[in-house]
Chain A
Amino acid sequence: MEKMIFGRYIPGNSFVHKLDPRSKLLFVFAFIIVVFFANNTLTYGILLAFTLIVILLSKIRLYFLINGLKPVIFLMLFTLILHLFMTREGPVLVDLGFMKIYEEGLRQGVYISMRFLMLVFMTSILTLTTSPISITDGLEVLLNPFKKIKLPVHELALMMSISLRFIPTLMDETDKIMKAQMARGSDLSAGPIKDRLKAVVPLLVPLFISAFKRAEDLATAMEVRGYRGGEGRTKYRLLKWHAKDTIILVALVIMAILLWMLRG
């Protein structure tokens, strides 16, 4: 249980760590769209160079990025192989007898896997360098316009912070209940699936009951302290927009324009 870490945030002091969460969120969102502009060697090269610069600036060890890739490596290989064998254009590169690999297939396969890699790396860098609580603060500000269509942005952000605060607490609690039930002879990790599912109930009931109790206590505490919604509420954590936040967004816009002009 101790091994499970929630979130993959790695505290640090790099350029990327110090950026405002708002600019990072905007940046990643725009990047997800801009990636699809690239369609030839030059544009993919520019994108790759840009991604490498961001990786260097974040000072995240490559190990963490590669690690995050493990669960999706299958999908990546699948799409790569699909392109290798299914695209039948251009001259034949390899003839295996039963299957032929064409130049266009190899090219498409490499492009697609690069696109995949860059997307996974960029979104990983966001979650590796920004704590969930700052992402929440950033999202609250960025989603402010949606208040006009009656989306309770403040309430959602508040609930998100409460949720994030209670995840470690509930994790400990679950661990404790699991150990208590194991001490009484229940076995969650072995035996036929039917027994294992039955063993989950005595785990969930105390967990849910204590969660309800926590919720009630917290609601009472908030009421006592006069919580009355988002209007006029001041903040403990303030966001500061620096020059470097503007710089990275400008850099992204310039790259997007460049890609648009150079794409084939």
Chain B
Amino acid sequence: MDKKRLLMMVEIAIFAAVGLVLDQISFKMWAQGGSISFVMVPIILMAIRWGLTAGLATGLLIGIMQMMFGAYIVHWLQAILDYGLAFTVVGLAAIIRKPLLQATQSLNKTKMALYIVIGTLLGGSLRLVCHLLAGVVFFKEFAGDDNVWMYSIIYNGSYMLPATIITAIIAILLFTSAPRLLQKVQ
């Protein structure tokens, strides 16, 4: 097996574990598994270091492991959206990989911050969309048909908005002060 691919696999695995650990130590204050946490930081890091596939894989692993550690499943579609897809799509932050790495090379911190914000916002909003849809499925099955979108937006927005902002701030502070985290070992 190609050494680079093996290293990528192992890094994904270990950073998925880092994600779960960070999820535990950050502010646990929301019900139903939704928490304001740094869990997205390692996913974004892997997406930038190794590219799209690695970002998606890290997210998927985190989602499945969260499910193993006690998930709240109320509908099969909600399970797929909340645990299978929600974290995986954060890996799509990889689309800012090239310009971000270029900015890192030239040590342009403003540009770096800009791309990090774009990437985090994209990942965060896609994750929000997944949780929103899962919420709609939940409220449709359990709360009747009225206002399902409103309930879901209020519930999921209330923690996803701060979570995305906090992730962006942490990612900017972290990657601009330690840019070598973003570069693979040669």
Contact B143 A132 (CB under 8 A): no
Contact B21 A174 (CB under 8 A): yes
| A36 partner residues in chain B, CB cutoff 8 A | 75, 141
**A208 CB to nearest chain B CB (Å):** 6
| B79 partner residues in chain A, CB cutoff 8 A | 32
Contact A8 B76 (CB under 8 A): no
**A177 CB to nearest chain B CB (Å):** 11
Q: Does A57 contact B (CB under 8 A)?
A: no
When C-beta atoms are compared, the residue in chain B nearest to A76 turns out to be B142
Q: What separation, in Å, do the CA atoms of A164 and B69 have in the docked complex?
A: 11
Interface SS of chain A: helix
Q: Does A72 contact B (CB under 8 A)?
A: yes
**B25 CB to nearest chain A CB (Å):** 6
Stretch with Cβ within 8 A of B (4 or more), from A46-54, A92-100, A218-226, A246-254: A218-226
Contact A32:B73 (CB < 8 A) given known A82-B144, A215-B10: yes
Q: What separation, in Å, do the CA atoms of A127 and B68 have in the docked complex?
A: 6
**A47 CB to nearest chain B CB (Å):** 15
**B56 CB to nearest chain A CB (Å):** 11
Contact A79:B143 (CB < 8 A) given known A33-B76, A163-B13, A174-B21: yes
Which of B1, B15, B38, B60 lies in contact with A156, CB distance below 8 A? Answer: B60
| B75 partner residues in chain A, CB cutoff 8 A | 32, 36
| B13 partner residues in chain A, CB cutoff 8 A | 158-160, 162-163, 166, 215
Q: What separation, in Å, do the CA atoms of A212 and B18 have in the docked complex?
A: 11
| A33 partner residues in chain B, CB cutoff 8 A | 76
Q: Does B118 contact A (CB under 8 A)?
A: no
Q: What separation, in Å, do the CA atoms of A167 and B22 have in the docked complex?
A: 10
**A24 CB to nearest chain B CB (Å):** 12
Contact B173 A197 (CB under 8 A): yes
Q: What separation, in Å, do the CA atoms of A112 and B74 have in the docked complex?
A: 11
**Contact residues, A127-170 vs B (CB, 8 A):** 127, 132, 135-136, 139, 155-156, 158-160, 162-164, 166-167, 170
Q: Does B65 contact A (CB under 8 A)?
A: yes
Which of B60, B65, B76, B173 lies in contact with A29, CB distance below 8 A? Answer: B76
Q: What separation, in Å, do the CA atoms of A174 and B9 have in the docked complex?
A: 22
Q: What separation, in Å, do the CA atoms of A205 and B65 have in the docked complex?
A: 24
Contact A159:B7 (CB < 8 A) given known A132-B69, A200-B170: no
When C-beta atoms are compared, the residue in chain B nearest to A201 turns out to be B173
Contact with A along B171-182 (1 / 0, CB 8 A): 001100110010
Determine the interface band of chain B, counting residues with CB < 8 A from chain A.
35 or more
Contact A219:B6 (CB < 8 A) given known A163-B13, A208-B181: yes
| B15 partner residues in chain A, CB cutoff 8 A | 211, 215
Q: What separation, in Å, do the CA atoms of A212 and B185 have in the docked complex?
A: 10
Which of A8, A136, A159 lies in contact with B70, CB distance below 8 A? Answer: A8
Q: Does A91 contact B (CB under 8 A)?
A: no
**Contact residues, A50-91 vs B (CB, 8 A):** 68, 71-72, 74-75, 78-79, 82-83, 86-87
**A128 CB to nearest chain B CB (Å):** 8
Contact B146 A160 (CB under 8 A): no
**A139 CB to nearest chain B CB (Å):** 8
Contact B32 A166 (CB under 8 A): no
Contact B10 A219 (CB under 8 A): yes
Q: Does B24 contact A (CB under 8 A)?
A: yes
Q: Does B121 contact A (CB under 8 A)?
A: no
Contact A205 B25 (CB under 8 A): no
**Contact residues, A190-211 vs B (CB, 8 A):** 197-198, 200-201, 204-205, 207-209, 211
Q: Does B64 contact A (CB under 8 A)?
A: yes
Q: What separation, in Å, do the CA atoms of A204 and B15 have in the docked complex?
A: 12
Contact with A along B35-46 (1 / 0, CB 8 A): 000100100010
Closest 7 CB pairs of A and B: A162-B13, A159-B13, A219-B7, A166-B17, A215-B11, A163-B17, A79-B142
Known contacts A32-B76, A86-B144, A164-B17; 18 additional CB pairs below 8 A are A29-B76, A71-B32, A72-B31, A82-B143, A108-B144, A112-B143, A116-B74, A116-B142, A120-B72, A120-B74, A123-B73, A124-B70, A135-B68, A166-B14, A166-B17, A197-B173, A208-B178, A211-B14
